[in-house]
A and B are shown apart, each in its own frame.
Chain A
Amino acid sequence: MINQKDLLPKDMGRSDEQLIKLEVDQLMPLLAPYDKPGMEPAMTDPKPAWKEKFCTSLDGYVGIDTLIRPKSKEEEDEFVRKFLSGLEKIFSDANNGVLEPLLLTFEYCAKCNTCSDACHIYTATGNNELYRPIYRSEVLRKIMKKYFTKSGKLLGNFVGADIDVNWETIARLGELAYRCNLCRRCAQTCPLGLDNSLLTKEIRKIFSQEMGIAPTPLHTKGSMLQIKTGSSTGLSKPAFLDTLEFLEEDTEERFGIKFKFPVDKKGADILVLHNAGEFIAWPENPVAFALLFEEAGLNWTLSSEIMGYDSVNYGLWYDDFQAKKIALMQMKVAKDFGVNRLVVAECGHAHKASMVVGDRMAYGDAKIPVESCLPLLWDMVKNKRLKLDPSKNNFPVTLHDPCNVVRQLGIVEPQRNVLKAICPQFREMTPHGVDNYCCGGGSGFAIMNSQNFPQFRDSVASRVKFNQILGAFKDTIEDPSIPKYVCAPCSNCKGAMRSIFEHYDATEKFNLQYGGLVELMVNALVSMKKPYLEFLDKE
């Protein structure tokens, strides 16, 4: 192992068993009440069997469970060859959709290091060199220069082409690409407007699109499953319809409200697209949408068509081919349906996928307008289409801004306007809005649960967010009788919240709760006879 302070980009090729090891006492300190010893689980070592099978030689964590150690020299050589082939391709016309931003970022980094302080992972690790945003980028540049530039071939070390390329180098680089949430906060501070997360994603793309290697939850059980069954949850059409029926009955039983989800309704104005994970993990969210839309009198529907009831698009995080395939399939379903507009519910990456990334994948009649649920929800509150009683939400509430929604789409005000209107004790995190920090679950982390990866996510990637939450509730955090609600209008972010609250036992100890925006809105509805939020009902 190497002292992280001495770590150089070229060390990625070293034969060490593990480059660095993270320890809790080296991480960024947590705020009270988690500043006391013993409040946080220790960091663990990878199991010996994992070392044999996976790449644990970076920092001991396994993010890519399909990245298997080679059994022979031939396999190792083939692995390196394929990576280099993919590296060459990202600069070819196979990658036209990214070529210009990629070349700009690749070419012009002045290495001023401004990006480091903006990175929540680098900060969380106590400024560990391995997680500095430009560390990963520099490794990629060095390999590229060594193999594919004239200057690198002629001048070698002089231009930085000084790295040994072997299985360990490439595999570590692949793992390191999954130590970044792709939140793009670093790009926001770059004086040259360059984007380290773009290079990170290109590494993930090379692994997936050329080498066929990607984390199982993202690929095999993610985008591939969605293309096959219509949903990354594996939820088939009959199962989806059964789920809706169950939720209708359950809502009637719990709240005495009789309603039906409009499904495949002809002549509907709006098609609502949920992250299908909501129906399984947080069904109160799609139910809340239905209750609000019905009360506001919107002409809306859900779709039961394959690809029509799951908004997710994991391709965004690791594979452009998958992203495009899914986006186009979703677009076709919406178009065939004949609605006027598609409204994306509370899922951050689905917002980005359908509104920004998918925006230039088709044109003309193949597209229908897509909008976020957040302005629509604010419109319903602003125009008093809902009868709301803010006193029902009289407990501390803070807002987590999903990166995809704020920094990458510029939807900042509607959600906080709603909260200001319905939550008397609403308070902002610091920083917030477009300057927010990622929840730590971004770019697939929230669903990557293989081997010891959750520990990296919960202790490191979500650390800055957890501190922001503790800071927002510092006046009441130690009083478990007061519920404290983190509003996270994004499925992925909710997944991250669930994990960190479990990791720190924060709900049990300090009554920290999380959920979406619509749940708070329904809870404030005058027509609700009992609290919609379960934690209020218990009291």
Chain B
Amino acid sequence: MLLSFIAYLSIFLFVGISVYKAYKFAKMPLHGRMELYPVPKEKGFEHGGSFYEEVSWWSKPHEVSHFREIMEMMKEILFIKKLFENQRPFWWISYALHLGIYLLMAWTMLLVVGATTELNGIFVAANSPSIWGLLIYYLTFVTGICGLVLGTLGAGLLFLRRMFDSTLKKYTTPQEYFNLLLLFAALFSGIITWGSDLSFSTARDVTANLITFTNFDATGLQIINIILVGIMLTYIPISKMSHYVGKYFTFHTVLWDNSPNVKGSAVEQKVKKATSYKPTTSWSAPHIKGPSAPK
């Protein structure tokens, strides 16, 4: 029961804190424009162009492709494109960690689906007569093994690289080593705990017990792994490892914003609201007189 509570609570905190952070960023005051080209949604994306390349741009429709923006965002999210293009050696280990985490998220969901499937009487195994059972089995098998290996390898190698790279170690704080160690510990404990049964039927059984709040005799390793994963899930959103939240805003609302303040636009309304705000804090230099920005 306690392990079920830890599992549910940590997932709830992970999602809840992440959403809260996203909400806080979404509600922040309107900022000045800081686009950086190429902006994917712009018609001239291929050469880095914008609507400003047109004469009398304000009198023409602003053609944008949200599909292209989503595609570029997906390339960043799924493949860490910028790191791949600009720092390939680092990309290999960083991507191993990120891909490992994505696969482990899929693995966890597959364990839940598999457990639910078995609770409904469908056998999930390599010799299952059900196609669904077979599909879940093999997907769980592949995502589990790849996820655990890649994630653990990525976290470990990132830690070592930071330790021994003469540049990176100058900028790495003890907390940042701790972050990677926590990830490594949680993932490595996963390998030790679940790696002895690569059919993951034990993991599925434990998952079934966890999601149904059923008491079971957890092994010491299982307890350690569940607690470590719980701590990791709770810690990630309160640390800077929550960059998965920030990254959306840095790209979507800052670098790729590109919404000019033209008459009648939604931005105009936001500007109107922002300019009427009176700051409670003011600057003190002699050339700045009065409590707020110039009217």
Residues of A within 8 A of B (CB): 5, 7-9, 82, 85-86, 89, 92-94, 96-101, 103-105, 107-114, 117-118, 129, 132, 134, 138, 151, 155, 157-160, 184, 187-195, 198, 208-212, 219, 224, 320-322, 324-325, 328, 341, 355-357, 359-364, 367, 369, 371-372, 374-376, 379, 406-414, 433-434
Contact = CB atoms under 8 A, between A and B. Distances in A.
Given A112-B87, A364-B263, A195 B53 contact: no
Nearest to A436: B48
A410 B293 contact: no
B82 A410 contact: no
A367 to B, nearest CB: 7
A270 B277 CA distance: 33
Counting chain B CB atoms within 10 Å of each CB, which of A7, A89, A360 scores highest?
A360
Interface in B147-196: 166-168, 170-176, 178
Contacts of B94: 112
B128 interface: no
Interface string B210-248: 000000000000000000000000000000100100110
Given A101-B254, A210-B285, A191 B82 contact: yes
A111 B169 CA distance: 10
A357 B33 contact: yes
B86 to A, nearest CB: 4
Nearest to A380: B55
Contacts of B167: 113, 132
Contact of B243 (A108, A369, A372, A409): A108
B284 interface: yes
Contacts of A187: 36, 255
A369 B42 contact: no
B246 A104 contact: yes
B128 to A, nearest CB: 41
B284 A85 contact: yes
A359 B261 contact: yes
Contacts of B284: 82, 85-86, 209-210
Contacts of B277: 93, 96
B174 A191 contact: no
Interface in B257-295: 260-261, 263, 267-268, 271-272, 274-275, 277, 279-288, 293-294
Contacts of B30: 96-97, 360
Given A101-B31, A114-B90, A356-B33, A9 B261 contact: no
Nearest to A112: B90
Contacts of A94: 279, 281-283
The binding surface of chain A is classed by DSSP as helix
B56 A369 contact: yes
Contact of B274 (A109, A160, A360, A374): A360
Contacts of A412: 37, 44, 47-49, 53
B174 A157 contact: yes
Contacts of B175: 151, 155, 158-160
Contacts of A211: 285
A189 B82 contact: yes
Given A100-B28, A195-B254, A413-B44, 17 more contacts: A85-B284, A92-B281, A94-B283, A96-B31, A98-B31, A109-B240, A157-B174, A191-B76, A210-B283, A360-B32, A371-B57, A375-B52, A408-B37, A411-B49, A412-B48, A414-B53, A434-B38
B44 A410 contact: yes
Contacts of A356: 32-35
Nearest to B282: A94
B50 interface: yes
A100 B36 contact: no
A219 B287 CA distance: 10
What 10 A-B pairs have minimum CB-CB distances, sorted nearest first?
Answer: A410-B50, A193-B250, A434-B48, A160-B173, A94-B281, A212-B285, A410-B37, A96-B29, A209-B283, A100-B28
A111 B275 contact: no
Given A89-B283, A113-B168, A363-B272, A433 B32 contact: no
B280 A93 contact: yes
A321 B31 contact: no
A355 B39 CA distance: 16
Contacts of B37: 406-410, 412, 434
Given A193-B250, A369-B56, A371-B56, A362 B275 contact: yes
20 contacts: A99-B28, A100-B25, A100-B29, A100-B253, A107-B246, A110-B240, A112-B87, A112-B90, A113-B90, A114-B82, A192-B246, A209-B285, A210-B284, A321-B288, A362-B275, A367-B263, A372-B52, A407-B36, A411-B53, A434-B37
Contacts of B260: 359
Nearest to B269: A363
Contacts of A93: 29, 277, 279-281
Contact of B293 (A103, A113, A321): A321
